[in-house]
Amino acid sequence: MIQHLKPYRSRQWLANVHQLDQCVLCGAWGIQAAHSNQDRGMGQKSSDVLCAALCLTCHHELDNGKHLTKDERRARMDRAIVLTIDQLARRGLVEAAK
């Protein structure tokens, strides 16, 4: 059984995500740090490291959109989180511990 832990919070992580400027899904300028909604209740955010650099349109579509199924929205969000971490690492905004 997986124990649900308190979400990890990091202002620095979120500040780094905001430095990315472009949506990792569509390339639009101007992003929000969009948190994953998976395994969270209404009004609860996941850990800050589980967020993606998304434009307002992509963020809305993944949170509330009607064009994708719930599973498709989750898969796209997971992909966006991976792409965000990749961009953070490429820009030197996050590194593996030595």
pLDDT at 1 over 50: no
Domains of the chain plus CATH, in order, are 11-90 (3.30.50)
* Mean pLDDT, range 51-80, rounded to an integer: 92
Alpha helix ranges (H) inside the chain: 11-18, 56-64, 70-90
Average predicted confidence (pLDDT) for the chain: 87
Q: pTM of the prediction?
A: 0.85
Nearest to 75 by CA among 32, 25, 41: 25
> How far lies 77's CA from each of 47, 49, 73, 95, in Å?
14, 13, 6, 22
